[in-house]
Amino acid sequence: MQSRRQLLLDTAGSLGGIALASILHEQGLLAAETSPLRPNIDPAQPFAPRPTHHTPRANKVLVIFCSGACSQIDTFDYKPELIKRHGQPLPGSENLITFQGAQGNLTRSPWEFRPRGECGKMVSDLVPMLGDMADDMCFIHSLTGKTNTHGPGENFMSTGFTLDGFPSMGAWVTWALGTENQELPAYVAIPDPRGTPQSSVNNWGPGFLPAAYQGTDFNAAKPLRNLDRPEGVDPETDRQTRHFLQSLNRRHLKEYPGDSELSARIASYQLAARMQLSVPEVSDLSTESASTIRLYGADDTENPLKASYARNCLLARRLLEQGVRFVQLFNGAYQTGGEGVSNWDGHKVLAEQYARHGPVLDQPTAGLLHDLKQRGLLEDTLVVWCTEFGRMPTFQAGASGRDHNPSGFTAWLAGAGVKAPFTYGATDEFSYKAVEDVATVHDFHATILHILGLQHERLTFYHNGLERRLTDVHGHVIKPILA
């Protein structure tokens, strides 16, 4: 028989254990809460929608990536002190050497900043229409990166690693969640009309995740490759051929039950067949109204590059409207021998170069954001605007442009899950280094996953003896920006 003293000791010990368990639960340190949460994927339906880890704030993502490192100083990061000290040395950084060499004096933006929207956010005249959407934006002015080189920088923003071979954001998301629309790819990458970004397909690659989760790349000008029927094959013959092939596939699958790779390959072929009907329909912009075309600037005959990018923006909206889980839209491309011509890499003649790029980005992107809002798509879509790193507040010695700067740059979010209008973090008085609420790209990724209902620390894939994740072994959700 248990004594009263022993009963009290046991009770006290139990209460202490409950208290300890509660503390460990709050800190996420219980074994059950740190173990991997992997999606349960049916190989025959690799893109079937899957449950989230917690209640999501958004269920779709649009990433707008400005390739070439768009300058925060000339767009969204207003610095009165930089204007005041224009032409003076950067304090404490005399004889500074950065990526491309010696730095000159502080140089204000060639464009004026003005208060925009009801919130009065200061935004540059380079992107006035985007500035007019400031009330819908959540700015992060304190991002930091790990590299000052374009290819690794694009890798880092898109995959969380500077090296090649790691899964992109969209691959992680579609592997975890699948997609609602089984007739279209779960993940679409829309390259700039001028070509691909410098890191090319690494930006939307699957890395070591199953190949099915690679982004499907096409844009409004270049439909999906190998999608059309061969010449001489009529629609009915094509349909019957597909049906016959499906019957052969089903018979083959019965002979090898449980072969997940075979199931996945057959599912991939079946999706490709369905896409023959769905992709041409979603990419046919002729059904858009004249007012919508004007909103995006897709009718601009004087600036064909802007019109081409605007059509890509329209395609992005149509894909999201049809339930595509992850859309990655690029503004800016890399061309060998054409530095500064096709992207935001403003080293030598920033004013001239950005004067061409600004109008290409501004109206179509603002029109896209406005259109998403008026159609109610922002209620469940997270919009992400980003670039690989920032720019220096100085001009390079002997040039009229800004060098690379991963020590402090800007991104903005809009739509489901974030506060707007809102500003988080800050760089110093010259926009040289992040100094307030400093955030890493890993934090940025952790926040995006959180908004989608995913725990970044537990969404892992076992590869080469390691539990790999988008945020590596880093990252914290930026909770102050959450709605």
Residue 464, judged by CB atoms within 10 A of its CB (0-12, 13-18, 19+), counts as: exposed
| CATH hierarchy code of domain 60-223+283-481 | 3.40.720
At residue 127's C-alpha, the angle toward residues 125 and 129, to 5°, is 105
Q: What is the pLDDT along the chain (483 residues), one digit of tens a residue?
A: 556 666 555 655 555 655 555 555 555 455 457 799 999 998 878 899 999 999 999 999 999 999 999 999 999 999 999 999 999 999 987 778 888 889 999 999 999 999 999 999 999 999 999 999 999 999 999 999 999 999 999 999 999 999 999 999 999 999 999 999 999 999 999 999 988 999 999 999 999 999 889 999 999 987 766 556 677 778 787 777 767 777 777 777 777 776 656 666 666 666 766 776 777 888 899 999 999 999 999 999 999 999 999 999 999 999 999 999 999 999 999 865 444 457 899 998 999 999 999 999 999 999 999 999 999 999 999 999 999 999 999 999 989 999 999 999 999 999 999 999 999 999 999 999 999 999 999 999 999 999 999 999 999 999 999 999 999 999 999 999 999
Model pTM? Answer: 0.88
CA atoms of 155 and 149, how far apart (whole Å) = 10
CA atoms of 255 and 344, how far apart (whole Å) = 54
Domain residue extents for the chain: 4-34, 60-223+283-481, 224-279
The answer to whether 185 touches 216, Cβ cutoff 8 Å, is yes
Q: What's the farthest any 2 CA atoms get from each other in the chain?
A: 94
